[in-house]
Each structure stands twice: as structure tokens, then as C-alpha cells.
Amino acid sequence: MLNLKKLLNSIEINIKNSTNKEELDKVRIKYLGKKGILTSYMKHLKYFSSEEKKKYCFTINQIKQKVIFHINAKNKILDKIILNQRIKKEKIDVSLPGRRIEHGSLHPITHTISCIKHFFLKIGFQSVNSPEIEDEYHNFDALNIPKNHPARDSHDTFWFDSNRLLRTQTSNMQIRIMKKEKPPIRLIFPGKVYRNDHDHTHTPMFHQVEGLIVDKNINFANLKWIIYNFLYDFFKTKISIQFRPSYFPFTTPSAEVDIIDDKGKALEILGCGMVHPIVLKNVNINSNIYSACAFGIGIERIAMLRYGITDIRCFFENDVRFLKQFQYNW
């Protein structure tokens, strides 16, 4: 018993003299490990009588508990020392300017597409994505575009081979939908389109939203109502609009829609018209029963007007100074 008391005093001194966690862990292993001193004491108890075993086991377990208590207490002291050392080493200069978190926002084109989708959803249109790599049939032939039409030339269109191309309009999805869906149809098709053109009002890649309605008794008045209400909703005011007679191979009659600014200058923003009976025939829809109207909106054009942007290329230059100007309240 005297030896055990001396051992406890020795252990407490060793714990107290430990200056770091490595030394403290060595003390723990030395006395409490599998081959530690206290463990070896327990192994030798088999040579003791039953009464002695009880007495010594109780004493050794008490010593073990005290050792564990002192080691945990010392651990806490060492943790505080380490923390204080880190605090001294990693002082914060409160006079330095703070690290600001930059808040991003949607790109103006993404936001414009979302606004368009939101309006057309309210009047019963669903939005459908469509393929950007198209074949000649869906992009030209089925849309009644003649073989000699200049849009098919390589200086206007990006061709992969004699059949595949980057689509030149979202009208390609009209054909795909009308081939597999039965009227009534009321859909919009937002997405990227590609044309070989580049200046301050044109880019090789831009965005369109195609709209299509197929039903009985659809006429040009329905089309005008949709366009007027969409533009009033988008610009949040009754802007000045004009419909100009135009020509598209896949619609008849056809029109282009211009917005007139305060100086009387017109800017074309979309094309529209009644879907040509030949196009309906190509997708097996009886034009004597059903009629259809369609429109294609240039997203960059209406975004330029809405935000007062004069150069379409600003949308694609990734200039953070330009993009930071757009914060939206939904």
C-alpha cells in the first residue's frame, strides 16, 4: 500500500511537469497503457489472497481514476496554453477593412427569359426546351423555306455537314411539336440560335423565344392581342408599337413588330404571322379545321430597350462592371 501511495505521488508529479500534450500522453501510456505500471500491478494480484485482492483492486482502481482525472485536468490547461499561443500569433487588426462578400445576380438575358416565361405561363403557355443542333428538314424544309433561300448559305448559317447545322431559329421546334402533339397546342420555346453575323446589333449566337398556338378559329387578332399584352407587361407601360407587313416562308400573312422610341425611331423586336397551310400539311394537321399563329421574339433586342443598352455585345463580354449594374426585385 505504501508503494502504491508513492507511485500515485510520482504520477502526479510527472503529470504536473508535462509541458506539452506529447509528454502528457507518454505519462498516460507509462502508467495506464496495456503494458503500463498500474496494469502490471493488476496482473500480479493473482498471487494474492481473496481479501488482499479486494483491498488492492479497490486501491488501484482509485489511483487509476485519480490519474485519469489529473490527466484530463492537465489536458484542459495545455489546451488553454495552445489557444493563447495561437491568439498571440494570429492577432486580428480590427482597423483593417472588412472582407466583403460579393452578392451575385442573374445575367440580364437569364432574367429576361424568366420574365417572358412568367408572362406566358399566366396566359396558359407551357415552356419547352429544344435541340440547338438541328437537321436540314426541321430547320428549313418543313418550314417551307426554299432550297435556294439565302438563309441556307454558309455565309449565313453554321453547317456541320450537308445535313446538320446549328439552328438558325427556334421555329424548328414548331415542327417537332406539331408532328407528335395534337391540337390544341399553346407553347413557347426559348433558347439559343446561331447566325453568321457580328456587329453592335448582331452576334453569332443570340436568344429567341418562339411562341405557337394551334387551335380552331385562331386568327391574326388573337396574335396581336398576345403581342400587345406581352410588350405592355414586359415594359410596364403602354409603349408605341407598329406592325409592318413582312414575308416569312412559314407564315402568311406575316408581320414584323417595331417599337417606336421617343424620337420616332423604330427598332424591330419580333416577327410573327399565321402559320402557313403548307407547314401544317407537312405535320399532318388539317388547315381546314385548325389554324395556327406563331411569333419569334429577339430576347437581346427587348432587353436592350428595357435597360437602355446600345451595344448587344455587352451581354457576352463578361465585364463584371456591366453585370453589377443589374439587381432585380422579383
The whole-angstrom separation of Cα 234 and Cα 14 is 80
The share of the chain scoring above pLDDT 90, in percent, equals: 44
Domain boundary at 89, 116, 149, which?
89
User: Would you say residue 19 lies in a domain?
Assistant: yes
The answer to whether residues 207 and 246 belong to one domain is yes
- The answer to whether 294 touches 272, Cβ cutoff 8 Å, is yes
The whole-angstrom separation of Cα 231 and Cα 114 is 14
The pTM of the full predicted model, rounded to 2 decimals, is 0.65
Domain boundary at 89, 118, 142, which?
89
User: Would you say residue 98 lies in a domain?
Assistant: no
- The answer to whether 282 touches 310, Cβ cutoff 8 Å, is no
Domains identified in the chain, total number: 2
The answer to whether residues 190 and 245 belong to one domain is yes
The answer to whether residues 125 and 205 belong to one domain is yes
Q: What is the pLDDT of residues 138-154, one digit of tens each?
A: 999 999 898 888 878 87
Q: Give me the pLDDT at residue 285, please.
A: 94
Residues whose CB is less than 8 angstroms from the CB of residue 6 and which lie 6 or more positions away in sequence, other chains included: none
The answer to whether residues 80 and 126 belong to one domain is no
Mean pLDDT, the chain, as a whole number? 87
The answer to whether residues 21 and 145 belong to one domain is no
User: Would you say residue 245 lies in a domain?
Assistant: yes
Q: What is the CATH number of the domain that holds 307?
A: 3.30.930.10
Mean pLDDT of 112-124: 94
The answer to whether residues 175 and 216 belong to one domain is yes
Of 276, 275, 242, give the one whose Cα is nearest residue 256.
242
Domain boundary at 89, 119, 153, which?
89
The answer to whether residues 76 and 193 belong to one domain is no
User: Would you say residue 94 lies in a domain?
Assistant: no
The answer to whether residues 78 and 116 belong to one domain is no
Of 192, 147, 193, give the one whose Cα is nearest residue 168.
193
User: Would you say residue 233 lies in a domain?
Assistant: yes
Return the top range by mean pLDDT from 32-46, 65-79, 86-100: 65-79
Residue numbers of the domain that contains 272: 108-323
